[in-house]
Structure 1
């Protein structure tokens, strides 16, 4: 009797500690939706209750690499290129069953499916499986769709131009007219788009992300015309076009990254967030956005510099962006009037850059947050003294609250800028300084703060410029996507 009682007590204690089983089915299905589809289906072997839970998940993450791609092929893609190798034959057998498996998964899913992501191989485009999946997803009332063509055989391609030609040749799906209608958000990665017809009826599309897309001017213009309800548009690392003209009264967030453009025209009355990352300097740049609140302007991307050099151009820098509009700053065309946050990469040791920052802050009457990333290697052509005798503008006196300096080295001009801000910023709350090397902290401690609420945070991070920029970009994209 004692032994039976001890077992009963142990069983009861185990049941009390099993918090997961006490969760409702809706919560468990939501947790499962965070797993790739292969792991989500494996949960059905845990118990009878878990057998059907994956079918009610609000999101399906279908990744072809996990479903059919052997580990050896991931480590050695060249072996898969040999049609007579055992690995290549096994991969081909998996590809022939792959499309059917995904279709069966979509059919067996019960209820509505709000979100779905497909990562597939070019093989699925040639067999028109991708179009079939999108149609099934549309039948399941998917509102948020992500499609990505995965290229696992890039090991045989020797140069960048060959990669572009391969992408254009093998990633051209034949999407029928209006197939994307009814979606709220759409992400396309690694495709060639030759017609705007698939976007007919996309008036309700709010978010569109195009990355590594080959597209011509006419198709891009047609897509933007069909998506007049867009609020968030991202065009990243894409090519084939030379002009970007956006006339959209509903657009709120615009992100342009690693592009080679001859002309940029943006007329968006409600645009609030603008992100420029490593753009080849365009011949014409016109922006009308009276509601702009946030600007991010970066030029440190290595990939962006490669694009610009291949076109015989320079990367658009924040100083050039400001200088381009310096001649048009007045009460009617100044799109900095409503700006509350500005994140740029500039050299505080360069007198010309300092002059532009000073002029800019005089015009930003509502600026509260200023983020500056300093270059790893300083240009020694425009050295000089600037900040020590400057009179603070109203922005520094009465508006600026948060300052973020990344890549600080402790040079004299960098300290002079900090001194100018600390001793004259009456509303400052926090200054965060990310140092690339140890600095003299005593020089900061001896400064008299104009703001009684000011706190100064010093951090030492010795990274490459690319890693630092990646952190900034992730912070911006997470905030506004």
Structure 2
């Protein structure tokens, strides 16, 4: 009787395992929705699943999740200032053996990410990585991006852990060092779609005939206005630009690009802004503070303008009417086909 029940249960399980009847291509697509380490774990399901994760289209990593248990203990046993100092100046400070073990664990997590990338066969199209500040300091982020280029990845999203805890403290220099991403320009422009989150961003623009960057999104990124202007002027393939709550550390922001077609700016505070883009077609503005009300658009081909304001903070932002008047005063004489939404 017991044997009969086991046999019946086995038959039911085989019938209910519909997912294994799917083709490998579809299974690899499904695995793409898992985090990198979870995708690798599917290899233990059966011989057939052993290498399926290596053909997924997307990889996603979260260093904080990988080290979740260690970080929880660390946060309980140390102060924010000591954690920042340890991350930024581990060798100078004379780290305890106990802390060295923690640093080694972070390094192991970084190597795990690199190892998964190495073992992936492809075609890998996109990758999303959220990481700890130490990976900026020790150069892991740049190494990961170089590896993704080798793999032929076209869409990348890189982001630093949430950094509110050190912004509110008097440890700005340490915090800024932990956030700083010094990225070679040839890497920056070699992905078709790039998103950067929570960095102090540095790069040295140069003429690069092989650049392919078409879509750039900067979320809560700090970059000097002069450096930003150089970056945009050297991105000859850039068509789509989104700026979300960025800090340009300067009085004036100039965006001069003949390739730009779409521009979105949201939750920004600037002194002045000039956008000069001969082929710009769409502008979206969501809640912008422009202290001097010096917001200018030289966009003769603009035909769609979308404006939205946060009604809870309406007094702080440029009014929708003001923005439309600013844009209209420049553009209407050049084009009568503007749609304001």
TM-score normalized by the length of structure 2: 0.81
After the TM superposition, which of the residue ranges 9-18 and 118-127 deviates more from structure 2? Answer: 9-18
Return the offset for 1:198. Answer: 7.8
1:244 and 1:264 in contact (8 A); partners too? yes
Return the offset for 1:265. Answer: 1.9
Return the offset for 1:18. Answer: 2.4
1:188–1:325 CA distance, 2 compared to 1 (3 A): closer
Which residue pairs with 1:226 in the alignment? 234
1:168 and 1:214 in contact (8 A); partners too? no
**2-side partners of 1:250 and 1:176: how far apart?**
22
Which residue pairs with 1:140 in the alignment? 151
Which residue pairs with 2:281 in the alignment? 272
Q: 1:114-169 CA deviation, whole Å, 9 max, x = no partner?
A: 111111111112211111111111111111111111146x435536xx58655533
**2-side partners of 1:151 and 1:166: how far apart?**
15
Which residue pairs with 2:54 in the alignment? 55
Question: 2:51 aligns to what SS in structure 1?
Answer: helix
Which residue pairs with 1:185 in the alignment? 193
The answer to whether the aligner puts 1:297 opposite 2:307 as a matched pair is yes
1:10–1:77 CA distance, 2 compared to 1 (3 A): closer
Which residue pairs with 2:244 in the alignment? 236
Which residue pairs with 1:349 in the alignment? none
Which residue pairs with 2:319 in the alignment? 317
The partner residue of 1:130 within 141, 151, 155 is: 141
2:184 and 2:204 in contact (8 A); partners too? no
Higher relative contact order (CA 8 A, sep 6+): 2
The partner residue of 2:120 within 106, 109, 130 is: 109
Q: 1:251-302 CA deviation, whole Å, 9 max, x = no partner?
A: 2221112222232222334433322122222532222334434333233287
The answer to whether the aligner puts 1:41 opposite 2:6 as a matched pair is no
2:275 and 2:297 in contact (8 A); partners too? yes
The partner residue of 2:179 within 168, 171, 185 is: 171
Return the offset for 1:15. Answer: 3.3
The runs of 5 or more residues in structure 1 that have no matched partner are: 309-313, 343-481
The answer to whether the aligner puts 1:195 opposite 2:195 as a matched pair is no
**1-side partners of 2:128 and 2:324: how far apart?**
39
2:186 and 2:211 in contact (8 A); partners too? no
Which residue pairs with 1:205 in the alignment? 213
**2-side partners of 1:35 and 1:80: how far apart?**
32
TM-score normalized by the length of structure 1: 0.59
Return the offset for 1:320. Answer: 1.7
Which residue pairs with 2:90 in the alignment? none
Which residue pairs with 1:248 in the alignment? 257
1:208–1:195 CA distance, 2 compared to 1 (3 A): same
1:211 and 1:238 in contact (8 A); partners too? yes
Return the offset for 1:11. Answer: 4.8
Which residue pairs with 1:79 in the alignment? 77
**2-side partners of 1:189 and 1:39: how far apart?**
24
Which structure's CA Rg is the greater one?
A: 1
The partner residue of 2:110 within 92, 99, 102 is: 99
Which residue pairs with 1:357 in the alignment? none
**2-side partners of 1:58 and 1:270: how far apart?**
33
Which residue pairs with 1:65 in the alignment? 64
1:69–1:271 CA distance, 2 compared to 1 (3 A): same
Return the offset for 1:66. Answer: 1.0
Q: 1:23-69 CA deviation, whole Å, 9 max, x = no partner?
A: 11111111111111122122222222112111111111011111112
1:320–1:71 CA distance, 2 compared to 1 (3 A): farther
2:296 and 2:326 in contact (8 A); partners too? no
The runs of 5 or more residues in structure 2 that have no matched partner are: 84-94
1:269 and 1:288 in contact (8 A); partners too? yes
Aligned Cα RMSD in Å? 3.4
1:33 and 1:60 in contact (8 A); partners too? yes
The answer to whether the aligner puts 1:338 opposite 2:340 as a matched pair is no
